[in-house]
Structure 1
Amino acid sequence: MEDGSRLRVAIIGGGLVGSLSACFFAQRGHDVELFEYRDDIRTTPHVRGRTINLTLSARGRAALRQVRLEQCVVRQHGLPLEGRMVHSRNGSLKSSLYDVRDKQCIYSVGRRYLNELLLTATEKFPNVKIYFRHKLVSAKLEEGCMTFQTPDHPEGVIHTADLVIGADGAYSSLRRQFLKKPMFNYSQTYIEHGYLELCIPPTADGQFALDARYLHIWPRGSFMMIAMPNQDRTWTVTLFMPLNEFQLLRKSEQLLNFFQFHFPDAIPLIGKERLVVDFFSTSPSPLVSVKCNPYHVGSRAVLIGDAAHAMVPFYGQGMNAGFEDCLLLDELMDQYGGNMSVVLQEYSRLRQKDAEAICDLAMYNYVEMRDLVTRPSFLLRKKLDNCLFKLLPNLWIPLYPSVTFTNRGYYWCLQNKCWQDEVIHLAVVVTGYLMLITLLLILWFSFGWFLKLILVL
């Protein structure tokens, strides 16, 4: 493993990040086994209501580019989104671009489509084997030994590998094995908000019911609704709200009154009957944020994607960050010649600050999307950021473009935002003092004679 020799790689999790990781390692010529506890998604019916649409941006595109899948995703199945469209209660609309300088966009991509594409791409490598319905039940990480429960072997079947990669999501089974190790730190935070999926169908003539160039947002202070376009001209609508407020909507009449007050323009788009059916056909799903460190055990095991850093979905970076993990591991293998002991150690060291930063930014962006986007102070700051970005593009990069359209570390983006906040705060304070001094001078020159007279008397 330290001389760049051919590895036996076991990847736990056949989702987006696991499949992409398999492509990276297979492309390097390593023998890859991909283990997924569910059935093959390509052969199972779609279950609506438990997914949040994906947004593909620069980091995810860079990773897909390395395995020659970027153009297929972007050109054939990505819907470009130029910015946000904010819906007020009275039905008025207000748009804002994501990138006012270069007009870059993000892409709405169906999760199921991308998962199917990556699995199919993985299968094309002769050095890859995919095992479905394999549930990890235990592992000896230092030995690369794993036990899986399968329909044919409920008592368990053993597989071994030189490198074990945990890409099995926020509730990772492999991460549970890490918890048994000393000095492994782990925390998870459930926010008080959950989400529930609805749908806007195409119009009668088969077109998009909303402007498909935008991600649509209905910000309502303590909660919000968003809509993202799909290839079939439908819109995936996601309602984010405190879980206790979901519990207050128990009857169809309560639901319709709630929407009539908060989202009146969405009712004719969704349809009353469909709204009631979709809302009560499922229950709200929770949202969790996960942080842990280190991401590796020795030279034999490592966590990537949501298994390492699950985040709430409000920055659209969960998939992009997971894809960037794959790219970083690949770059480190080039840098250190396949010495996995060093590669994994460096991966943990370099990735932790960035991963924790984007988890924090995702939390912040929920507040921005559901509340701040309607506040005059926020809108004024946004205009100032955009103006400075146009004038000083190499010096002043606003937070959203730096996160979404560059490959700079997430931690750098967060620190850059803090620096910008300090600069603006200082500018406001200095401007305030200058205005006060100017006012005092005006008063002095205008009424100084009166003050002198009072002093004399």
Structure 2
Amino acid sequence: MRKPALTIIGAGLVGSLLATLLAQRGFSVQVFERRPDPRKHGFLGGRSINLALAERGWHGLRVAGLQERMRTIAVMMRGRMVHDLAGNTNLQRYGRDDSEVIWSVNRGDLNMALLDAAEAAGASIVFDQRLDGVDWQRSTLTLRDAQNIPRTHHAQILIGADGAGSALRAAMASMADLGERFEPLGHGYKELEIPALTDFPARQLPEHLREAAARGERFAMEANALHIWPRGNYMCIALPNAHGSFTVTLFLPNEGEPSIASISDARQARAFFERDFPDATALIPQLEEDFIGNPTGMLGTLYLDRWHIDGRALLVGDAAHAIVPFHGQGMNAGFEDAVELAELLEATPSDFTAVFAEFERRRKPNADAIAAMALENYIEMRDRVDDADYLLMRELDRTLAERHPGTWVPRYAMVTFSRIPYRTAFERGAAQTKLLRELVAGKSRIGDINLVTADSKVLALVGK
């Protein structure tokens, strides 16, 4: 039986992977993307936030046969490299060893590789096509190009992968109440860059890096780490890129002191960085230009009660469940969506109403769970990574995992190194965190904790 044609709105990360997976399964796939083709016109940077590719994301790439291709553009990160005000650093590993790591990947590089893969699989992608409206009775889209010239496209089955500001979601909301609500974080972000040593302006290269540059080294800091400068209510992070640069992201409250609103010119930006991130400042030669020139990104969480309209339209990825980026799981969750939907459609290609409903039933509880964990992780990253109680809980968490492998699994490991459903990780992680807090209450170091008692409580927790 011939499989029906599918139209995807959005050729970003999730849309491109989904197009690849569906085309590989024999579906006719047409994709419309509002931006120009980045392979021809360059990727529009300035507010990308580098991506942390974890096991869930790698699984999606493996299913599509793309793992080896993506290895060439990814950089391993062993843990968080915490920078204090004096410039001292401390590596906090993500997992037990180098088998439990995450990977930094530049959004533009990954997107372009996925576009190539989608077209190679047989999907058709049309760029510079902004969705302007949907005639639901006639199953017709109106799209407009960069010159605002309209075109129409007949599409009985629509999938929206067009991000947090989804045009398809807006069109669906005109047809049905989706129960949409957006909860802003109250923080924004600015993107900056630490260039590769080979690209550093010669006169601005810090003296301590000149020998490294002369040896042909590329990275200005430890390459295999996510660098973080926690400062309480705000922070700066830097993720490595394969060619040697770091994408730097400053997260600040929108209002107050300091805030996005309080830093209005290049001089203030320079003074702020020199005060709060002195060791990073010397590595950002275009600090003023990037801070003033790059847009301010908005952060928040999108919640929907409903992701689909019968068998006609479905939302996936950020279009359905945009989250804040502090667990590095937005892309990974979107790739899980793509795999789950492709597998459901392959199994039942003739009943889209049933497939879309089942997809929502399976994915929505997990999307809600990772949204909650991402918000919690922001507080951890900016406030707690250098806190004594947090470090003690973290050490005990690792100790119990070593003593009870498979029984006690740290929540971060469940989220990042496995494909355990997010909801399970959230619920089990909450129980484990409660127990850790009880165990470290009033303790100043790991040796003060009775590990026999800890072991017995672990066994009681899992019902043994």
With the shorter chain as reference, the TM-score category is 0.7 to 0.9
Structure 2 partner of 1:248: 262
Distance 1:429 1:79 in 2: 38
Which residue number in structure 2 is paired with residue 371 of structure 1?
383
Deviation string, structure 1 residues 350-369 (Cα, Å, up to 9, x no partner) = 11111111111111111111
Query: How far did residue 426 of structure 1 move?
Result: 5.2
1:146 partnered with 2:160: no
- Match among 341, 362, 369 for residue 374 of structure 2: 362
Partner of 1:448: none
Q: 299-308 or 136-145, which moves further after superposition?
A: 136-145
**Is residue 101–residue 390 contact of structure 1 (8 Å, CA) maintained in 2?**
no
Q: Work out the CA distance in 1 between the residues paired with 2:366 and 2:17.
A: 20
| Equivalent residues of 2:47, 2:295 under 8 A apart | no
What's the CA shift for 1:309?
0.6
The one-letter code matched in structure 2 to 1:407 is R
2: CA distance between counterparts of 1:142 and 1:219?
52
| Superposed CA offset, 1:359-398 (max 9, x none) | 1111111111111111111111100111111111211111
1:200-219 to structure 2, matched below 5 A, reads: 200-203=194-197, 204=210, 205=213, 206-219=217-230
Q: Matches of 1:394 and 1:302 in 2, distance apart?
A: 36
Deviation at 1:252, TM superposition (A): 3.8
Shift of 1:404: 0.7
Q: Residue in 1 aligned with 2:238?
A: 227
Q: Does 1:161 align with 2:155?
A: yes
- Counterparts of 1:423 and 1:300, CA distance in 2: 46
What residue number does 2:83 align with? 87
Cα deviation code 1:52-95 (max 9, x no counterpart): 11111111111111110012102x11111111100000111111
Q: Percent identity?
A: 38
Partner of 1:72: 69
Q: Give the Å deviation of 1:339.
A: 2.8
1: CA distance, partners of 2:373 / 2:411? 10
Alignment of 1:351-430 (within 5 A): 351-425=363-437, 427=439
What code does the residue aligned with 2:145 have?
Answer: T
Partner Cα distance (1:277, 1:331) in 2? 46
Which secondary structure does the structure 2 equivalent of 1:290 belong to?
A: strand
CA contact (8 A) 1:212 1:229 kept: yes
* 1:32–1:347 Cα change, 3 Å: same
Residues 1:260 and 2:298 are matched in the alignment: no
- Counterpart of 2:336 (choices 302, 307, 324) is 324
Partner residue in 2 for 1:447: none
Gap change, CA 1:425 and 1:23, over 3 Å in 2: same
* Partners of 2:49 and 2:417 in 1: CA distance: 21
1:187-236 CA distance string (max 9 Å, x none): 11221111111111223525201001100000000000000111221111
Aligned counterpart, 2:121: 125
Distance apart, 1:161 and its partner CA: 2.6
Does residue 132 of structure 2 align to residue 134 of structure 1? no
How many angstroms apart in 1 are the aligned matches of 2:139 and 2:392?
A: 55
How far apart are the structure 2 equivalents of 1:30 and 1:337?
9
Deviation (angstroms), 1:419:
1.3
User: Per the alignment, do residues 89 and 32 of structure 1 end up closer, same or farther by CA in structure 2, a change over 3 Å counting?
Assistant: same
* Alpha-carbon contact 2:80-2:225 (below 8 Å) kept: yes
Q: Is the 8 A contact 1:332 1:343 kept in 2?
A: yes
Cα distance change of structure 1 residues 309 and 376 upon mapping to structure 2, 3 Å threshold: same
Do the aligned partners of 1:143 and 1:300 also contact (CA within 8 Å) in 2? no
Q: Give the SS at the match of 2:283.
A: helix
Q: Equivalents in 2 of 1:57, 1:359: separation in Å?
A: 16
Moved more, 367-376 or 156-165: 156-165
Distance 1:370 1:27 in 2: 42
Whether the 8 Å contact between 1:85 and 1:215 is mirrored in structure 2 is yes
- Are 1:181 and 2:149 matched, yes or no? no
- Correspondence for 1:39: 36
Alpha-carbon displacement from aligned partner over 1:320-348 (angstroms, at most 9, x marks no partner): 11111011112223444653222111101
Match of 1:440 in 2: none
* Residues 266-345 of structure 1 mapped to structure 2, 5 A cutoff: 266-271=280-285, 274-336=286-348, 338-345=350-357
The question of 1:27 aligning with 2:27 is answered no
Match of 2:190 among 181, 186, 196: 196
Aligned CA distance change for structure 1 residues 142 and 20 (closer, same or farther; 3 Å): farther
Q: Which has the higher helix share?
A: 1
| Equivalent-residue separation in structure 2 for 1:333 and 1:325 (angstroms) | 12
Distance 1:92 1:148, change over 3 A: same
Once the two structures are TM-superposed, the CA of residue 125 in structure 1 deviates from its matched residue by 3.1
**Where does the alignment leave 5 or more consecutive residues of structure 2 unmatched?**
198-209, 444-464
What is the number of equivalent residue pairs in this alignment? 423
CA distance in 1, matches of 2:264, 2:378: 25
For 1:53, the aligned partner's letter is N
| Partner residue in 2 for 1:116 | 112
Partner Cα separation in structure 1 for residue 307 and residue 26 of structure 2: 24
Q: Which residue of 2 aligns with 1:107?
A: 103
